[in-house]
Amino acid sequence: MDRLAKYAEMLDSAQRKATATPQITPVDTAFTVEEAYQVQKLSVDRRLSRGERRIGVKMGLTSRAKMLQVGVDEVAWGRLTDAMLVEEGSALSRARYVHPRVEPEVAFLMKAPLVGKVTAAAALAAVEAIAPAMEIIDSRYENFKFALEDVIADNTSSSGLVIGSWHDPRIDFSNLGVILEIDGEVVQVGSTAAILGHPIRSLVAAARLVAEAGEQINAGDIVMAGGITAAPNLAPGQTVRTTVQNLGAVMFQVE
Ligand code: 0L1
Ligand code: MG
């Protein structure tokens, strides 16, 4: 098994066993971003070969705060499968994750394919609907610590998504207020403008980055636009709710 396949197996196994694994970059200092995306694909392909179905993509590192945290100025992307879907209003099991956190987001549902360099207008024209959403991120690395290459290989920490009601995308969603509550207490506030200044820019970037990997965004895909605030830790017993102005609320519980 070559080294990239070995990393993919290591990360896939960490996800399945909900057990942290060491970072790649401190040992393999030559590990590149390009190789990291190959590892991500190999790792997600292992999931697909077990019967999971691709449902779309997620954008990560889309806010200035996240970029500064990881020390990059480019967004990253990851792959979503049906096994990551958490039904809105349901309870997820904390035991299935290593050290999960939650990010308030918005999600796009696509009605047409999108590939390569596209304008914001073309991206918007390909959107069927927009919804309030949350991503459960769960780095498979010890202490939730990683370099850019590590986190890309680890499917940009993606491990779950919860989607609220779909809405007509012709509303102005450039700067909608967002509240994240845990157990009824407001823990984060933000705006959809935190996503690259306007969430549609995240979709434009998704089309370009996915095409660089020889893939495309398909009709029917979900695209998670990116985190809007810092991501609090999840713990058993919590009720977690995100409310996006004009789009409504989405919630789940942790057990
Ligand atoms: O979705 C995200 O923006 C997270 C990307 C990876 C960084 C992290 O795990 O915090
Ligand atoms: Mg996210």
pLDDT per residue over 175-227, tens digit each?
A: 999 999 999 999 999 999 999 999 999 999 999 999 999 999 999 999 999 99
Q: What is the mean pLDDT of the chain?
A: 97
Domains parsed from the chain with CATH numbers: 3-254 (3.90.850.10)
Ligand 1, atom nearest to 105 Cα: 1
pLDDT tens profile 87-120: 999 999 999 999 999 999 999 999 999 999 999 9
Ligand nearest to the CA of 77: 1
Mean pLDDT, residues 38-67 taken together: 96
Q: For 38, how many CA atoms within 13 A lie in the half-sphere containing its CB?
A: 11
What is the distance in A from the centroid of ligand 2 to the CA of 255?
21
For the Cβ of 202 lying below 6 angstroms from any atom of ligand 1, the answer is no
The pLDDT value recorded for residue 69 is: 80
The pLDDT value recorded for residue 73 is: 84
Nearest partner of 81 among 151, 1, 9, 15, judged by Cα: 15
Q: Cα separation of 152 and 17, whole Å?
A: 20
Q: Cα separation of 11 and 44, whole Å?
A: 10
For ligand 1, atom 3, the nearest C-alpha belongs to 60
